[in-house]
Amino acid sequence: MPEKIASKDIVIFCIGNEKFALTTDEVKSIEELQEIIPVPRAPAYIAGLINLRGAVIPVMDVRKRLTSGDVQTGRDTVILVVEHQDESIGLIVDRVESVDQVVFDVKPVPAEVAAGNVGRFYQSVLETAKDKITIINKDNLLSLEEPT
């Protein structure tokens, strides 16, 4: 049975043509893309480090974490800053589409998607009149542990 959400504020962002979301409680800020210092021997999806208002924070390229193809950085590419285990972490996404208050049903991720390579990063699916938006499981996305 689908879980009903009365209303929730979410940040809707895009990776390629797909729409994803995190709650506004999870996103501390949305920052312009800036110079990223690479970290040697880090996983390919770890872009590196940035200096954000005097704090050095790691940055993950969510595009590389969720897809296996090449990623292109455009003028709309941004960094979502989130909190994970008491640390700030930047997430590179293609663009932020909107910050909205939503009221609709949350549906589970389809079993065939959940069983896939990146399925553990998905929490649920929101359906609106015009879109399907995948809610990201932030903790799983930011975990450096790979499934065995």
Range of the domain at 52: 3-142
Domain membership of residue 51 (yes or no) is: yes
Q: Is the pLDDT of residue 89 over 50?
A: yes
Domain membership of residue 91 (yes or no) is: yes
Q: How does pLDDT run across 103-142, given as a tens digit for each residue?
A: 756 777 766 666 566 777 888 888 877 888 889 989 989 9
Environment class of residue 146 by beta-carbon count within 10 Å: exposed (0-12), middle (13-18) or buried (19+)?
Answer: exposed
Within 13 A of 50's CA, how many CA atoms are on the CB side? 22
Q: Is the pLDDT of residue 7 over 70?
A: yes
- Distance between CA atoms of residues 44 and 15, nearest Å: 17
| The pLDDT value given to residue 117 | 65
Domain membership of residue 148 (yes or no) is: no
- pTM value is 0.85
State how far the alpha carbon of 108 is from the alpha carbons of 41, 43, 105, in Å. Answer: 36, 29, 10
Domain membership of residue 53 (yes or no) is: yes
Domain membership of residue 38 (yes or no) is: yes
Cα angle value 134/24/133 (rounded, 5°): 15
> Do 9 and 24 form a contact (C-beta atoms < 8 A)?
yes
Q: Tell me the CATH number at 41.
A: 2.40.50.180
Domain membership of residue 44 (yes or no) is: yes
For the chain, how long is the longest CA-to-CA vector? 46
Domain count of the chain? 1
Domain membership of residue 147 (yes or no) is: no
Beta carbons within 8 Å of 76's beta carbon, 6+ residues apart: 94, 95
Domain membership of residue 36 (yes or no) is: yes
